[in-house]
Structure formats: structure tokens, C-alpha cells
């Protein structure tokens, strides 16, 4: 298998990915075609009916649209704002009484939708934590929709495939396999909610009260959740949804590298215990969304063990970074977490939505969510039963076939392919940081551990004027986004407005990173002069 990460081609173009089918694969595909020959179509008066030949013809058109779009992205702007009329055309569009021809629908998509993407498909998109989709996963989404199984559970292939893909994720990050449980969810927010719900259940159980029956209305000690001040907002939302209230959250200060301070954590726990409150969990980060900082997970795990607290790790963006041997030591202790949230739709380039919740104690997770009496629980090899249903381990009953795109993408890249890709992204981030430090009018604002770089434009005329620098850099970001040559977002670091670049695209090169630096300096100089 060819290495999916390559340096820039000699002609200066973006990397290409050359995958040719072996004779064995060609024979396998031939077998598939022969075994699944299309039967004579059945007639139907349904408004949704489509015979196989018509589906095939339209499918070719859809693939052509997708392929042309993917092939031409690099030649267009990263982001192209919609005009007021274009926005209104969607916001006010009526639903026609009669159905439209597929060609007409496709034409509308090509003319009105494709020209205005979010931008994350472009190699010069450095905004937020939104990756480009792996092409193999685009095709997987089509096949998943073709089967359209309900993945609440049951004795069918999609169920077992999800168990397989989740186990691969556990192995990737060093999470324990035996006795643990994982399920695919919409993203890191839901994954954190799943993990913290299990944490609340365990704490109540050990205190001798049934939180599922009693809720949080009884005369119980107030539960307290600790987190870094750099934690993602989804942890705060989870606390509110769990009925804990924002007053149950303790924001722990960070050090000069934006990592949670364990001395402050210990002090906060002691203060709450002295006040009669009940500490129950700590949420740590394996790659914060603002700077990519990795909290001292091993030290936090020690504190949690001493204090009998649940350790939840938000690794939605950064957990996959453990595959880079240069930064892997920073993840020491990750395998000791009670729960981990990670998002394959971020650094693993699986299309949205595809998050994953991992919980060390699978039986506890089932106790937390299952409404199925023991005598009704499924048994392997009996009816449509199969393994215990995923719906007993989380909120969702209706669950889509997310696993197929994850399963296919993991196989396509392989562990070594992902390790090479992540190392490349981290190298590019260090290259960007070095370029920032070398420029007289740029300033690096945070250490670089993963693929996120925070910096700002600082002209001599505004040095020392923080309010003016914040306003200027906000204008730089907005101007760059609107002009579409590249794309960058922001982070707030102790009140400082930072330009924040996150490198996640599988085809981004050093030339793209250099272009970002050049554009920031050019736009900044233009705004100051104007």
C-alpha cells in the first residue's frame, strides 16, 4: 500500500494519492458484480421509486459532480460568501407541489450549493477543527445509506462492524479493551455527555442513592465537576444537562503552557470537601481546542485515584495525536481514564458526524442507560438478538450506520498511514511557528504541541496597545475570511485576540502554510496603512 502522506510534488502541485487495484482486488470486484446481478425491475407508483438503471445513471452524475468538485477545490477560493439574494433564495424557497426531475435538482445543487462551501475541503483552510473528508469515506457514506440499517443493535453486519471499528480506536490510543465499552455518537459533545453521565451514576451508586429514580432533587451533597479553564464548552453544557448546574463547575487555572495546574486542582478539591460538597469527576484535555495543549493526564489520574474521582478526558481533537511518537509521551496516563471522548471526524478525516465515547467500565455504562429488564435482554444467536444493543449504552435509539465510513477509512490509511499524516501536520505546525517567530511583525502566543498555532500581527506602531492590537487582528481575520485566499479563525488567550491556525487537511503543504503567513502580513500592513 502506498504511503498516503507524500511531500510536495516536484512540479509544486499538491500531493496526489495513487491507489491502483491489484489483480486480486479486480477479481473480487468481478465476483461482486456477478453475484449481485440486477434483476428485472419491479414497477411502482411510489413518488420515490427509481429503477436500478436510472439510479445508476444518476449515480454516475453525482460521482462526477463530487469528483470534479474535489479536483477543482484547490483552484478556487477557500471561502466565498453568499450574496443576500443567494441566501434569500434558500430561506424563502417554497416547496413545489410536483416533484422535480433529478437533473434539475442536481443543476440547482451545482449552481447554488457547491460554489459556497464552508471551506474545510481546501488545503488552505486553517479554521476551527474541521477536516476535509477522506474520499474513501465519501463513498462509504453512499453505501451506508444504501443499506440504511438501524444500528440500535441486532444480529446484523453493521452492529459487529461498529464493535470492530471502536476496538481499533481503543487500540490506537491505548485504551483498555477488556471490560470496556465504546459506541459511536454524533461528536465530542455527546461523547462527553455519555462519559459524565456514567460518572454521575457511579458516584450516586457508591453513595447509596438511585439517581435514575430520585434525580437530583433529594437532600444530597452537591456534586462538583473540575475542569481546566481551557476545556471545551461541551463539558459545561453536559453539566447543565445533567442537572448539576453551572455552580457545580470548578474552573481550574492553567500554567504558562495552557495546561491544567494540578496544585490548583488539589486545593479546589480540598476546599469543596471542607464545605460539605461532593467532588465526583475531573475533565482533562488531550489537546485543547484553543492551543492544542495536553493536560498532565498521568498526574491528574493520580489525583483522581487518591480522591476516588472519575477521570474524563476530552480528546475529541487531540487524542489521535498519540500516534506521533514525538509527542506520544505527553499522553502518558490516557489509558487510565474512566472515559474518553474522541472524534474521528476531526483528525482522522472521517466525514461528519462521527464521534466516539469510550468508557472503561462497560457494565456500569449499561446500568447508566439501559431501560431493558434483565429477562428481556438479548442473547447471542437467538432471533434478532446478537450482542447487547448499543441503545442500552447511550441516549440514542435510532442510530445511523456511522461505522462504515470509519471502518473503511481506518483500513484505507492504516495505523502507519495515520501516524505519518499526523506527524506531517505537527511538523507543518512547527514550521508555521518558526515562520511566525522569524517575522518581525508577528508574535507567537502559545507553545505548539500538536497542529494548532496561535499568533498575531504586531506592527511597531501599535506595540503595547492591547486594545488596538485585538481590534486590528480581528479585522485581519475577518478580511482574510472574506477575501478567500486562505482561512484562519481565532482564540482568546487570557484576553488576547489570537489568530488561530489548525492544520488538519491531508493535502496541506509547507507552501500553503507559507501562504498563510504572507497573507496575514500583507493584509495586516494594508489595514494599518489604510
Q: What integer pLDDT is reported at residue 384 of this predicted model? A: 65
Q: Are 476 and 526 spatial neighbours (Cβ–Cβ below 8 Å)?
A: no
Q: What is the DSSP secondary structure assignment for residue 186, as one 8-state letter?
A: S
Q: What integer pLDDT is reported at residue 386 of this predicted model? A: 75
Q: What integer pLDDT is reported at residue 455 of this predicted model? A: 98
Q: What integer pLDDT is reported at residue 219 of this predicted model? A: 80
Q: Which residues contact 373 (CB under 8 A, 6 or more apart)?
A: none
Furthest CA-CA distance within the chain: 77
Question: What is d(CA 141, CA 247) in angstroms, rounded to the nearest whole number?
Answer: 42
Q: What is the DSSP secondary structure assignment for residue 352, as one 8-state letter?
A: S
Partner residues linked to 349 by β-bridges: none
Q: What is the DSSP string of 30-68?
A: HHHHHHTPPPPPPP---TT---HHHHHHHHHHHHHHHHH
Q: Is 37 exposed, middle or buried (0-12, 13-18, 19+ CB in 10 A)?
A: exposed
Q: Is the dihedral of CA 377, 381, 384, 387 positive or negative?
A: positive
Q: What crossing angle do the helices spanning 188-206 and 233-241 adopt, rounded to 10°?
A: 50
Q: Which of 156, 155, 157, 177 is nearest to 166 (CA)?
A: 177
Mapped onto helix, strand or coil, the DSSP state of residue 322 is helix
- Residue 256 has φ and ψ, to the nearest 5°, of -75, -5
Q: Which residues contact 263 (CB under 8 A, 6 or more apart)?
A: none
Query: Cis link prior to 353 (omega < 30° from 0)?
Result: yes
Question: What is d(CA 244, CA 262) in angstroms, rounded to the nearest whole number?
Answer: 23
Q: Is 100 exposed, middle or buried (0-12, 13-18, 19+ CB in 10 A)?
A: exposed
**C-alpha R_g of the chain:** 25
Q: Are 283 and 198 spatial neighbours (Cβ–Cβ below 8 Å)?
A: no
Q: Which residues contact 175 (CB under 8 A, 6 or more apart)?
A: 169, 182, 334, 335, 337, 340, 358, 360
Q: What integer pLDDT is reported at residue 220 of this predicted model? A: 84
Q: Are 442 and 455 spatial neighbours (Cβ–Cβ below 8 Å)?
A: yes
Pairing of strands 339-342, 310-314: parallel
Q: What is the DSSP secondary structure assignment for residue 101, as one 8-state letter?
A: P
Question: What is d(CA 312, CA 315) in angstroms, rounded to the nearest whole number?
Answer: 9
Q: What integer pLDDT is reported at residue 374 of this predicted model? A: 67
Question: What is d(CA 101, CA 120) in angstroms, rounded to the nearest whole number?
Answer: 30
Q: What integer pLDDT is reported at residue 357 of this predicted model? A: 98
The one-digit pLDDT tens for each residue of the chain (530 residues) are 334 333 334 344 443 333 343 454 455 445 445 555 555 555 567 999 999 999 999 999 999 999 999 999 999 999 999 999 999 999 999 999 999 999 999 999 999 999 999 999 999 999 999 999 999 999 999 999 999 999 999 989 999 999 999 999 999 999 999 999 999 999 999 999 999 999 999 999 999 989 999 888 678 889 999 999 999 999 999 999 999 999 999 999 999 999 999 999 999 999 999 999 999 999 999 999 999 999 999 999 999 999 999 999 999 999 999 999 999 999 999 999 999 999 999 999 999 999 999 999 999 999 999 998 766 666 666 666 678 899 999 999 999 999 999 999 999 999 999 999 999 999 999 999 999 999 999 999 999 999 999 999 999 999 999 999 999 999 999 999 999 999 999 999 999 999 999 999 999 999 999 999 999 999 999 999 98
Partner residues linked to 223 by β-bridges: 278
Q: What integer pLDDT is reported at residue 346 of this predicted model? A: 97
CA distances from residue 242 to 195, 229, 355, 357 in whole angstroms, order as listed:
11, 20, 20, 17
Question: What is d(CA 212, CA 149) in angstroms, rounded to the nearest whole number?
Answer: 30
Q: Which of 397, 416, 527, 398 is nearest to 474 (CA)?
A: 527
Q: Which residues contact 61 (CB under 8 A, 6 or more apart)?
A: 102, 103, 106
Number of helices (H) and strands (E), helices first, in the chain? 15, 12
> Apex CA 218: angle with CA 213 and CA 224, to 5°?
100
Q: Which segments of 322-465 does DSSP mark as H helices, in order?
A: 362-369, 403-438
Question: What is d(CA 82, CA 56) in angstroms, rounded to the nearest whole number?
Answer: 33
Q: What integer pLDDT is reported at residue 39 of this predicted model? A: 57
Residue with cell 443499506: 147
Q: Which of 344, 326, 293 is nearest to 453 (CA)?
A: 293
- Domains of the chain (ranges; CATH) run 50-80+117-134+414-530 (3.90.1150.170), 149-400 (3.40.640.10)
Q: Are 414 and 408 spatial neighbours (Cβ–Cβ below 8 Å)?
A: no
Secondary element (H or E) of residue 282: strand 278-285
Q: Which residues contact 467 (CB under 8 A, 6 or more apart)?
A: none
3-state helix, strand, coil in the chain (%, to 5): 45, 10, 40
Question: What is d(CA 178, CA 176) in angstroms, rounded to the nearest whole number?
Answer: 6
Q: What integer pLDDT is reported at residue 44 of this predicted model? A: 65
pTM for the whole thing?
Answer: 0.89
Amino acid at each position: 500500500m502506498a504511503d498516503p502522506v507524500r511531500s510536495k510534488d516536484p512540479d509544486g502541485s499538491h500531493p496526489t494519492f495513487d491507489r491502483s487495484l491489484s489483480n486480486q482486488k479486480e477479481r473480487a470486484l468481478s465476483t461482486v458484480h456477478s453475484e449481485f446481478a440486477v434483476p428485472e425491475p419491479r414497477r411502482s407508483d411510489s413518488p420515490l421509486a427509481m429503477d436500478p438503471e436510472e439510479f445508476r445513471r444518476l449515480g454516475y452524475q453525482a460521482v462526477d459532480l463530487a469528483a470534479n468538485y474535489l479536483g477543482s477545490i484547490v483552484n478556487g477560493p477557500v471561502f466565498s460568501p453568499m450574496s443576500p439574494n443567494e441566501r434569500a433564495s434558500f430561506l424563502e424557497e417554497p416547496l413545489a407541489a410536483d416533484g422535480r426531475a433529478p437533473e434539475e435538482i442536481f443543476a440547482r445543487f451545482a449552481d447554488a450549493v457547491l460554489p459556497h462551501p464552508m471551506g474545510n475541503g481546501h488545503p488552505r483552510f486553517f479554521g476551527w477543527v474541521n477536516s476535509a473528508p477522506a474520499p474513501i469515506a465519501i463513498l462509504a457514506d453512499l453505501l451506508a445509506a444504501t443499506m440504511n440499517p438501524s444500528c440500535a443493535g441486532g444480529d446484523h453486519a453493521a452492529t459487529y462492524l461498529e464493535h470492530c471499528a471502536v476496538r481499533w480506536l481503543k487500540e490506537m490510543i491505548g485504551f483498555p479493551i477488556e471490560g470496556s465499552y465504546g459506541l459511536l455518537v454524533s461528536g465530542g459533545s455527546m461523547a462527553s455527555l455519555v462519559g459524565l453521565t456514567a460518572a454521575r451514576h457511579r458516584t450516586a451508586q457508591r453513595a447509596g442513592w438511585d439517581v435514575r429514580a430520585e434525580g437530583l432533587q433529594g437532600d444530597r451533597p452537591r456534586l462538583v465537576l473540575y475542569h481546566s479553564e481551557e476545556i471545551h464548552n461541551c463539558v459545561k453544557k453536559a453539566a447543565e444537562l445533567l442537572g448539576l448546574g453551572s455552580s457545580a463547575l470548578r474552573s481550574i487555572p492553567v500554567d504558562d503552557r495552557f495546561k491544567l495546574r494540578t496544585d490548583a486542582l488539589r486545593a479546589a478539591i480540598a476546599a469543596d470537601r471542607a464545605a460539605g460538597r461532593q467532588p465526583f469527576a475531573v475533565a482533562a484535555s488531550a489537546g485543547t481546542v484553543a492551543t492544542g495543549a495536553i493536560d498532565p493526564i498521568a498526574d491528574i489520574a493520580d489525583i483522581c485515584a487518591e480522591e476516588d474521582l472519575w477521570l474524563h478526558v476530552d480528546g475529541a481533537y487531540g487524542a489521535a495525536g498519540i500516534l506521533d511518537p514525538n509527542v506520544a509521551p505527553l499522553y502518558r496516563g490516557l489509558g487510565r481514564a474512566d472515559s474518553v471522548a474522541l472524534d474521528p471526524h476531526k483528525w482522522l478525516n472521517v466525514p461528519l458526524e462521527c464521534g466516539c465515547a469510550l468508557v472503561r467500565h462497560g457494565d456500569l455504562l449499561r446500568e447508566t442507560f439501559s431501560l431493558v429488564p434483565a429477562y428481556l435482554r438479548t442473547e447471542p444467536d437467538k432471533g434478532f438478538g446478537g450482542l447487547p444493543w448499543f441503545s442500552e449504552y447511550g441516549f440514542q435509539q435510532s442510530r445511523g450506520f456511522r461505522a462504515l465510513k470509519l471502518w473503511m477509512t481506518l483500513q484505507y490509511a492504516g495505523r502507519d498511514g495515520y501516524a505519518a499524516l499526523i506527524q506531517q501536520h505537527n511538523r507543518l505546525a512547527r514550521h508555521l511557528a518558526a515562520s511566525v517567530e522569524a517575522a518581525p511583525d508577528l508574535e507567537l502566543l502559545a507553545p505548539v504541541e500538536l497542529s494548532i498555532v496561535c499568533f498575531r500581527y504586531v506592527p511597531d506602531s501599535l506595540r503595547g496597545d492591547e486594545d488596538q492590537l485585538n481590534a486590528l487582528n480581528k479585522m485581519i481575520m475577518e478580511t482574510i475570511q472574506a477575501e478567500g485566499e486562505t482561512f484562519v479563525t481565532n482564540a482568546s488567550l487570557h484576553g488576547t485576540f489570537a489568530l488561530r491556525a489548525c492544520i488538519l487537511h491531508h493535502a496541506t503543504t509547507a507552501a500553503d502554510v507559507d501562504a498563510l503567513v504572507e497573507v496575514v502580513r500583507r493584509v495586516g500592513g494594508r489595514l494599518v496603512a489604510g
